[in-house]
Amino acid sequence: MDSQWKRFWETGLFPSLEFSLSLSIGYVLSLFFYVAGSELSLIDRTDTAYPILQALIAIFFAAGFIYRKYKQNFPFTFSLALLTLAIGQVIWLLLGNTSEFLIDYIFSFELVLIGGILSAFSVGIYGGSLRDFRFLSFTLGVTVFTFYSLFEPNQNYSIKILLAILYILLSFYFFSTLFQQNPISSKFYKIRSKIGKHPLFSPFYRSSLSLLIAYCILHLYFQPGPKIPLILSISFSVTFGRVLSLLGGLKKETKAVFLIGRVALLFAFFFFIYQSYWSSFYIALCIIGGTIVGFFKPNKTPYKEYMMIGMETAIYLGLSFLLYFWNLPMGIRTFTALLFVPVLVYPYLLQKHIIRMPRILMLAGAILIVIFFFSPPTIRTNSPFSKKENFDPIPFAITNLNFNEEKYIFYKSVLPFPSNPFLPKRSEIKDKIVVLGLSSNQSQIISYIERLSEENHPFLIITTRNKTNQFHHINALSLLSRKSYWNFDIYYPNYLSQKINFAPTLPNDWKLKYFHEKLDNASFQEVVNHLDSVLKYSSGDLRKDAIEIKHLYYESFAAYAKFYHNIGQNKLSLDAIAYARKFESPKPDLLRIAFNSLKFTTPEAEYIPIIEDLSIDSEFQEFAWNSLIPMFESLGDWNNALKTMGLLEKYYRTNNQIEQANELELARVRLYINQENWKEVEPIISTRLRENPNSVIWERLKNEIIEKKDSLRRISIRPDAKEARIQ
């Protein structure tokens, strides 16, 4: 290569390629994590596989980063091996049978584990080689993506495609290392600023970086959801701080820069301390922390320094989670929070070049911030249970499938059985029939059933015909067999040997066809009305079949009631019982569930029929009558209120609970007086006065009746007053 081409390569072509490569990798890597956040949320993170994958990825990324950062000579054979592996990864990703990365994780975890290790090591090697020139272009790529994602939130990309693009970009980097171990551009674009070399500025970089990393981890833990504002604020502020450090004028103002660094670090510490939910002012904290990191970044950082940053980050996290999980008095919590201060100012206090007074002021300022502004993180509460998303009962008992058996495993199913919140993995579905719901994550489920079909694994998909919960990708199920029931459908593969039909207690003749035409797509009340009509006007087999259908409906909704009661959803359990009792009188087990659920539920008028069912059983009578009386009074149903009071009073007197009976009798008398029912109330008062002549209460009630009757008599004599009273 002649000198002109060499000069062009060194000063123009190669730096431009390097800039484009770093910009592209920053953009693609951000897009990868953005898409991965939603897709990998369907993975069960409570088992050992996912933490192992995370740990290995972190370890190999660190290994690649440290190797490249402190190993200047990049062996030719090593670079060639990485290039070969990258090309192999691209081929495997592009030729994979499934488009969803999640499906490969579930069915081919070993390959995903190997691919994740190689990916982390390769990205770590690239990250360890970053210099100012490449770093600025990399963060610019992150910033460009985050700006773009704010306007285009729906990123319909496959993680496998993003990984393939990332490997192609890394292949260019590994290919360049085959010809040049130390990039020539570094000779022209190594920016050696005075700020990056000054020993007084290194504490700001270390303290702000550990504070920023700790906060980001806490924010990810406490605030689930999109992280675009977090990524954008950090990437933009780090880039801005790094560019700001290159300005020639600032290099001469050492004292001013030193003072700005102290103030900025204290401001960042203030925003970190004032985090009641690790969300307040988080944009300000990220911008200040990122700017300090970018501005004060040293030109060279020993690996021991990064170890200290890791230790400080761990202390920040440990203290934060301690204050979060340990419910201490406020004074003790504030005293514990003071332990944040030495972690923050420790690198600053060790600097021998700094005189004593600034160090004391820094320490005092951090202590005062904790004392006056510390706000302990609030204990999180679970989001309220959504009835709309979960309560969609179907009469599943009319099928001939016994879902109670252990051979079934459920994922977000509409059936009343414990359901897996994550897509079941290969080890979990062995020798089992998978029952899937289609309420959410439909694209992932479609890929999941495609993989199940390839392996001839039995599965069922149950969908309701509720207009508010329809499946929009019905064409994806066109290759499956379908059996239609009343208000729901079951899809199953052709190779499923078990016959999908109606319950064996129902005949497969014209009578069932008659019911099918009447009950299909009917509301539950319409089903009840039709079956009652059949029982009233029909006889023989048709009547027998109607009785059986009512029983199957009852069994279905009773199963829902038991399921919701077991998971503590008492409101939904009562709703299911309200459906079940329309078909049959509740059995003792269902009455017990109703009793337990009503004790933890606010009484509602719609539950009066259920409480009346409880009043028939002697075990629940007292509770039922005590619950019905205030409900009847609030509805203005005085007759039922008085009737129930009489029954409860009689119950108390039979069981020698005289005090409760007397109190209830007084309440009943008071209700009679309010209704001006003298015929009922006067005999009661006369009887009680004969039994207790000295009773003040009954004497007062007697006088009250006399006064009211006199008042009514006077009004009857004055028609104008009576008319005014009526109005």
* Residue 113 pLDDT > 50: yes
pLDDT at 509: 76
pLDDT at 142: 84
Measured between its terminal Cα atoms, the distance across the chain in Å is: 110
pLDDT at 536: 81
Structure tokens at 559: 């199963």
Question: Of 180-194, 220-234, 455-469, which range is least confident?
Answer: 180-194
pLDDT at 487: 83
Sequence-distant (6+) residues with CB within 8 A of 332 are none
In angstroms, how far is CA 62 from the centroid of its own chain?
Answer: 30
The DSSP annotation for 31-95 comes to HHHHHHHHHGGGS-TTSSHHHHHHHHHHHHHHHHHHHHHH-----HHHHHHHHHHHHHHHHHHHT
Average pLDDT, the chain: 77
Q: How far apart are CA 61 and CA 53, in angstroms?
A: 12
Taking a C-beta distance cutoff of 8 angstroms, is the pair 561, 610 a contact?
no
Structure tokens at 108: 């081919």
Question: Of 193-202, 241-250, 647-656, which range is least confident?
Answer: 193-202
Q: How far apart are CA 471 and CA 475, in angstroms?
A: 10
Q: How far apart are CA 510 and CA 400, in angstroms?
A: 19
pLDDT at 429: 86
Structure tokens at 356: 């004593």
pLDDT at 1: 45
pLDDT at 727: 40
pTM over cut 0.85 = no
Crossing angle of helices 109-128/76-94, nearest 10°?
140
pLDDT at 231: 79
State the pLDDT confidence band at 645, using cuts at 50, 70 and 90: confident
pLDDT at 330: 74
State the pLDDT confidence band at 60, using cuts at 50, 70 and 90: very high
pLDDT at 270: 87
State the pLDDT confidence band at 276, using cuts at 50, 70 and 90: low
Q: Where are the beta strands (DSSP E) in 380-518?
A: 408-411, 433-436, 459-464, 481-484, 488-492
Q: How far apart are CA 85 and CA 76, in angstroms?
A: 14
The more confidently predicted of residues 111 and 380 is 111
CA atoms within 13 A on the CB side of 106: 26
Taking a C-beta distance cutoff of 8 angstroms, is the pair 207, 265 a contact?
yes
Taking a C-beta distance cutoff of 8 angstroms, is the pair 233, 290 a contact?
yes
Structure tokens at 391: 């309560």
Mean pLDDT (whole number) for 109-121: 85
Sequence-distant (6+) residues with CB within 8 A of 111 are 92, 104
Q: Specify the DSSP class assigned to residue 176.
A: H
pLDDT at 554: 92
pLDDT at 725: 45
Q: What is the pLDDT of residues 194-230, one digit of tens each?
A: 676 777 778 888 889 998 998 888 877 776 655 777 7
pLDDT at 387: 42
Taking a C-beta distance cutoff of 8 angstroms, is the pair 641, 671 a contact?
yes
Taking a C-beta distance cutoff of 8 angstroms, is the pair 118, 85 a contact?
yes
Mean pLDDT (whole number) for 431-435: 88
pLDDT at 34: 78
